[in-house]
Structure formats: structure tokens, C-alpha cells
Structure 1
Amino acid sequence: MKLPPHRLLLAAILLLRCAMCTFSAKNCPNCGTTPVPYPFSTAPACGDPQYKIRCNSGTLLFDTLNSSYPVMSINPSIQRLVIQPASLLPNTCVTSDYIYEGISLNESLPFNITSDNTIMFLNCTESLLRSPLNCTSTSLCHVYVNSTKGEAPCQAAPICCTFRAGGSSTAHRIMVRDTGCRAYTSFVDLDSVLPVDKWSNPGLAIEWVLPQEPVCGSQADCDGNSTCGPAANLSGVRRCYCTGGLHWDPIQGICAHDATCQNDGSCGGSTKTALIAGTSLVIIQDG
């Protein structure tokens, strides 16, 4: 039976994508209806164990040293995930992770807090007035607290401070404590010109280092397009290295064919297009 033209085109596209790459790392199954992109690992047999997150009853959770936070979105193309910050305890200006002194990332893992975050410390002591943070009466945190979207219990706490995260002191930690501030919130890619009711929901952006090739114990752990060999920088560690004509794509976790052109000849001309594979953004929807 002769296929209609649109089906032939679809089949050609699928064959082209398969010709471009072959998987050399196992992706984890969905968490409920949410995809788990590489390199994240929700089980020992999938993803990269250095990038462990948890799937709990269909919800993705990111574990810190002392607590867990729901994952709001994951964007593999820019190596960024966004977690939901702790909420306030009822009728207080104290965040629920106050007992853990806020967020603390494991510095031995490939994650850090990014400079995309605007952090607002709330319910602060006078000691913060001597800090380099913006704790003035015109600080953006006051605009937020006094808005309809703000935290009403924090209006009675007169000192708050605003800063952009990502420096050495905040690359792995957002600290709350009695001698500083007892609450915080965070906004990703905040446009301070917008009115507060146009701001996005609170979130904390965390980025990850691109993963290396998968660790292997023997050739049986690798597919036919990669070879288990000793890692150059770690004694006793072996990884699945892509064979000739292929290169490791750390975003998708595949051995991808080296770039070719749709037309014969080199890729230097403006009419010749290199073939590349796409990536996707994973958004976690509430409910």
C-alpha cells in the first residue's frame, strides 16, 4: 500500500533522527506523567547517580543536605532546574526549613545555586543592616512584603534585605537563623520593573555541571557504539567512551554522530545545514 506524502515525510524525519544518534545511557521512566530527562536518576539502574532526584507519588523532589523541595521545572538545554522554596509556617514570618537553617546543597555534587535568583531575606535582625545586602527602606523586599501577593505576617518585621544569589557565599547555601534572618523567598529571572502581581511564583534556580560518559564495570554495561575504558582523571574508574565517528552528547546522554551536512561537501557554505538533535523543557504542572 502506498503511503500518503505526509506519512512518508514523517517516516523520513524519524529515520533521520535515528541515524543521527544512538542511546548510550538509560533514561529513567516518567515520574507520574512527568518526564525525567537525562542525567537525572530516580533509581540505581537509570540516569547518572551523581544527579539523583526522587520520585514520590508522582512528584519529583530535589534533596538537599537537610531537606527536600518539589521540582517545578527542568531545562536540560541550559542545565537548570527550579525548585519550590520553603513556605512560611502558619501565621509567622518564619520559613518551614528554618529548623534546618535554610537550604544547603551538597558541595560534592554537581549542583549550585545560580545568579538568576533574586533572594529576599525576611524578618531580619539589625545585624543585617551592616551587611552588603540591600536592606534599605526602598529594597525590593519591602515592595513585595507590602503587596497583596506578599507575605502578610512579614509586614510586622521591619527589616528585610534583597540580593542576587550566585556568589561564593550563596552558591550552595541560603541560610536562615536567629542571628540573621528567619525567612526567605526567591524569584527566578525577576523583572523588578513589573508590578508584584505580575511576578512569577517563587522559585529557586539550580544549575548542574554537564555529566561525563556513563560509568561502566565492563563492556556489558555499554552499548555497541561505546567502549568501556579507563577514565583519564580518576584511577580505577571506567567509562563508556563513544567509538569512532561518534561523540558524547552530555545533554541528551547519547553517543551522537559527528556533525554532517545535508548536502555533499563541507559545512562551510551558507546553503549547507549541520544536523543537530533537539532538547526539551520539562514543566511540572500542579495537580
Structure 2
Amino acid sequence: MKFITARKNGQSFVGVLDASETLVLPLTKKENGFDFPQSMIECIELGDEFVKQAERVLQQASQSDFLELDAVELLAPIPRPRKNIFCVGKNYREHVIEMGSKDDIPEHVMVFTKAPTTVIASGAPILSHQEVTEQLDYEGELAVIIGKEGKAITKEEALDYIFGYTILNDVTARDLQSRHKQFFIGKSLDTTCPLGPCIVHKSVITDPSALQIETKVNGEVRQSSEKEKMIFPISEIISVLSQGMTLEPGDIIATGTPSGVGKGFNPPRFLRAGDEIEITIDQIGVLKNTVANL
């Protein structure tokens, strides 16, 4: 199942896409005593019961219950996360090398965060932030959505704590990242975390490690993970994050980007106003955004 957050007539709602992915069924009705929450995080907190009820409503729905997807405003699946987005750095070998050398390949999971205010929807403009950066870059990534609370999670049980998967663009101001000697400021400019277009429930994806990422800029393929594998698998990332820290429903974990980022070219190929970034992950969809001249 694919879940979205959307808005129509000023009212936001959680919905589920039909098989064609051109129609959306709003989960807004109280059905057989079950009242669907109106935010994605609250839905995720309900766990398997939410998914079970959504499946039932989808099976029983008539054609008139659906809305044309083009007739609603698509929002990020989680428009405003409750906490910072967890991001894994240097998790693809060739990306590590293009940004430095083999000596930079990490022995342990490397984590930084992005502020919740960075999140925007597929289709929303990415601000160029010309007043503060000249080196805006893209990073296509698979993102994990945590489905239940957990702490001290083992690698063997880690995948049980996942609700689903989505696409994330870890847009980065490279000059700020370098200037401040840490990642947070360069990773947290407004609009620098396009997210979506949907969350695919984990039941749809049997092997997340096999999902391929492809990033295009103005139609040109820049990133492709076809021959690249994560250094640290998703199960290990979740386990490491949960040691001494509680993971909660709705937490977002970006799992790293493959080689082909703008800074990795010689000379670098940073984003400019008008550039269109399109990130595709099979079984999930396409996240598309354009850089605005602002």
C-alpha cells in the first residue's frame, strides 16, 4: 500500500493510492467504529491496526469515494516531523571516494541530522538560497520510516520496527558544510529536504537493500546505485541509532547517497535556479523538484 498526505479545500488528509496511482482514497471517515487520524504520524502510531483498516476501506470503496490525484495538493508524507531527520553519511563506497579517498571509508555508522523545517513535498520549489550559498548540491536517498517505539534494537529485529519507505533528497550547501566544520547548518536550509511522494508500506518491499536509486538533473542521469551497495545495511543503522536513544513512530532515517553528486564532478556541477531534480526508486515512485530563483 502507498500512503500520501494531501490537501483539498484547505483541509489536509491521509490517503491511500489505488492500483493505478492516479486516484487517492481519503481516509477521513469513521468506519465500523474506527476513526482514522488526520496526520500520518498519528496513523503510523496505530501500527498494524491502521494498515488493516486502510486495506479494508480500500477494498470496500466505490469509485465515487476516490479523488483524482491531480485534483489535490500533494504534501510531504510527513509534512512536519516531530524531530530532526536522521541522516547517514558516507554509506556508499564510491560516494566516499568521490568526496575524498578510500581512507575516508568509515568503520562505524556516521550520523548527522536535518531540521524538521527543511521538509517539502514533491513538486514544491527548492529555494536556491543565493544569499548564503553558491554550492547547492543534490543527494538522492532511500528513507526509512520508523513504525513503533524501540530502544536497544538488535540487527536481527530491526526491520520489524519499520513502517515503510520513501524517497528523500538531502539537498546540501557544500560551502556551508565545509565552512562550519560540521553538517547541520549546510544540511538544514529551508526547503532542502524534499520528501515523498508517498510512503510505501514495508509489506510491499521484501528486500529494501535491492532497491535502486536513480537521480537525474535536467534529464541527465547523475546518480545510479545499480552496482553500489550500502556499506552499513538498514538493519545495522536502526540498531546503532537505538543504542541509548529511543526511536519513535514517524522518525525518518535517510540511508545515504550513491556516487554522482554535484561536488564529485571535476569541475563541480552545483545546482542553479531552474534545475529540475528527479529521483526515482523502484517500487516507490518519483520525487521531483525544481530549484527556485530565491
Query: What TM-score, normalized to structure 2?
Result: 0.23
More helix by share: 2
Question: Which one has a bigger Cα radius of gyration?
Answer: 1
RCO higher in structure (CA 8 A, sep ≥6): 2
